[in-house]
Amino acid sequence: MCFIPFTFAYFHTLNIRLPTEILLMVMECLECPISIRALAYSYPRALHLFQKHRQNLLGPALSVLNDMYPVDELLEDAVLACRLRLTMRNVVLLSPPEAMQKVIQAEMHSISVPRDWYSLTLLCELSSLNKERDQFISSYTAHAWDKMQTDCRRELARHIGRRINRPHIMPYKRVNLSHDELERLQEAFLDFEITRHCLAYDKLLLYETDLEDGMLSPIYDEMSYLAGHLERDSIKRSRQSIFCFIFQSYGKLIRQVEEQLELEILRQTIRQTTEPRLSDLVSVEKFRNRTQSEELRYIALLCLQGYVCLRIAEEYTDGVLRAFILNSFMWFCKDGKNHIPDPDGRLACGLERFTPEYYPDNDTAHEAWSRGRYFWDRSRMWRLQVDTMFYIDCCPP
């Protein structure tokens, strides 16, 4: 980074405008375009130069973003999502009326400038959003496709009465998304980024979790719907799919912290000591005595902060993760009241359906959200169903 001030100072001294080509080379070294912010703040004059020559300097980078959003509706959704992210960084700290007002203001702020003319702040946020979107799609599709294949292999093993030991029988395969599948995931991610800010005051999406019988049927069932994206409520279910993925991922982190605490208590019992983190005793006791409803609503609160916060939390060390979960749960229960109230129990009832434990005998093949059922092409689902039924017919019990 030390060469950046020198570069700007040199061109500024010579009173020569920094050529776009050289600027882009610098950006490339900084993994452009997400590092434009770092470039702008690396030297006091940098931000001024960016603002002065914005169109010329940022044009190539903006053309890349325009290619990413060839449809005006997609670009508008991306810009709206970015405005919400910029004005509602701490969405969980806002009261429902405050959150609603900010969402309304962002929605009323239409794109009043040409496609190739954005503020530096918005451009940086768009770049961050694109990176998060790509990370989510990569992680979600691998996770969902692995679950689908596991469901089918488990059904085959149940039919033949033994584990599948032969590598050539229904081997795990990587998934390569079609253009349509990728487009559905991109649209859904933007839609979720917008909708999650609305969840601060409107949780109807989390109440309406009843699914059609055809979507609750496992993919290997002949009565299963194979094209979830054609269902009348597919847009809403797509949002719920992303929410479910984040929800279950946070649930795993909570289980991880719970296991840490159980090990600590076991060690204390063996050593017959209570030396440990006295400052944590209150939060540990509160966390371990949580009700199911509290846990579900606490995870929902974490989900309001989006996928990026989950990505950060997954990189935490055990100690940092423990502190994050305990401290955030204590804030959730601050002053003896929950920050996501549920007086009639409807919210907890809806959220419970996003958990693996909701399904009998842990047979989560009947859960459609985390398996990408609203994103896959019908041809992909049909091939998986046919392959499963073929092996079931060919492998006698």
pLDDT digits 0-9 by tens, 61-75: 666 666 777 667 888
Do 51 and 163 sit in the same domain of this protein?
Answer: no
Residue 354 belongs to a domain = yes
Residue that is last in its domain, among 23, 51, 68: 68
Residue 123 belongs to a domain = no
Do 169 and 281 sit in the same domain of this protein?
Answer: yes
Residue 132 has pLDDT above 60, yes or no: yes
DSSP string of 249-274, one letter each residue = HHHHHHHHHHHHHHHHHHHHHHHT--
Residue 390 belongs to a domain = no
Residue that is last in its domain, among 68, 93, 127: 68
Do 184 and 332 sit in the same domain of this protein?
Answer: yes
Of the pLDDT bands very low, low, confident and very high (cuts 50, 70, 90), residue 336 is low
Residue 263 belongs to a domain = yes
Do 64 and 140 sit in the same domain of this protein?
Answer: no
Residue 102 belongs to a domain = no
Query: How many domains is the chain built from?
Result: 2
Do 239 and 328 sit in the same domain of this protein?
Answer: yes
Do 35 and 143 sit in the same domain of this protein?
Answer: no
> What are residue 226's phi and psi, to 5 degrees?
-95, -15
Cβ(243)–Cβ(205) under 8 Å? Answer: yes
Residue 237 belongs to a domain = yes
Do 44 and 163 sit in the same domain of this protein?
Answer: no
Do 201 and 332 sit in the same domain of this protein?
Answer: yes
Q: Give residue-wise pLDDT tens across range 249-289.
A: 999 999 999 999 988 888 777 766 555 555 578 888 889 99
How buried is 27 (Cβ within 10 angstroms: 0-12 exposed, 13-18 middle, 19+ buried)? buried
Residue 364 pLDDT: 85
Residue 317 belongs to a domain = yes
Could you tell me the pTM of the whole model? 0.81
What's at 252, amino acid-wise? Answer: K
Residue 21 pLDDT: 44
Do 149 and 231 sit in the same domain of this protein?
Answer: yes
| 15-19, 201-205, 250-254, 372-376: least confidently modelled range | 15-19
Residue 137 has pLDDT above 70, yes or no: yes
Domain span at residue 239 reads 135-384
The encoded tokens of residue 269 equal 């019992």
Residues in the chain: 397
The rounded distance, in Å, linking the Cα atoms of 364 and 151 is 8
Residue that is last in its domain, among 47, 68, 89: 68
Do 293 and 377 sit in the same domain of this protein?
Answer: yes
Residue 352 belongs to a domain = yes
Do 46 and 161 sit in the same domain of this protein?
Answer: no
Pick the closest to residue 306 from 145, 201, 191, 229 (CA basis): 191
The rounded distance, in Å, linking the Cα atoms of 126 and 146 is 30
Do 284 and 373 sit in the same domain of this protein?
Answer: yes
Average pLDDT over residues 305-331: 93
The rounded distance, in Å, linking the Cα atoms of 251 and 121 is 33
